[in-house]
Amino acid sequence: MSAPALTKNQALVFDVLEKADGPLSAYTILDKLRDHGFRAPLQVYRALEKLLEYGVVHRLESINSFVACAHPGENCHSHGIVAFAICESCSQVMEFHDHEVDQRLMDWTRSKKFKAEKTTIEIRGLCEACAA
């Protein structure tokens, strides 16, 4: 599932996300790309679908937004579960990985014979700067 060359639309969407300093909603991305010919949400969603598949973009379920992966060049899917800390004030996102957490969750799923497909870990709160 590594990333092949991106199509034009995929590259445009990825570029917007990479240059953004925080997560963006699909419609925000759409607005930013109107000058590049984007007219409809599907253009964004279809690109996002692929970018998510390639592991270069993450979806933040709790805020219906998307963010470029913090590991440019690498395939994030190989890092285990991805966790996010999302500042509700400045909307900065920190991405991290904790193998111990992965292990505990995998232990649980194995004990329940639950076949995990996609795991979401999102911590919402205030970053150091905003909490002060």
Give me the sign of the Cα torsion angle 67, 71, 75, 80: negative
Cα(111)–Cα(32) distance, integer angstroms: 46
**Min dist. Cβ of residue 38 to its own copies (A):** 25
Residue 86 tokens, joined = 């999302």
Count Cβ atoms below 10 Å from residue 119 Cβ, excluding itself: 14
- DSSP-assigned letter for residue 85: E
- Which residue lies nearer to its own copies by CB, 39 or 115? 115
For helices 8-19 and 41-54, give the axis angle rounded to 10 degrees.
80
83 binds, among DNA, its own copies, none (CB under 5 to 8 A by kind): its own copies
Q: Is 75 in the site for DNA (CB under 7 A)?
A: no
Q: Is 3 in the site for DNA (CB under 7 A)?
A: no
Q: How far is CA 9 from the centre of its chain?
A: 17
Contacts with its own copies, residue ranges (CB under 8 A): 61-62, 83, 85, 87-88, 94, 96, 98, 100-101, 104-105, 108-109, 112-128, 131
**Min dist. Cβ of residue 8 to DNA (A):** 4
74 binds, among DNA, its own copies, none (CB under 5 to 8 A by kind): none
Residues engaged in binding DNA (CB under 7 A) = 7-10, 25-28, 37-43, 45-47, 50, 64-65
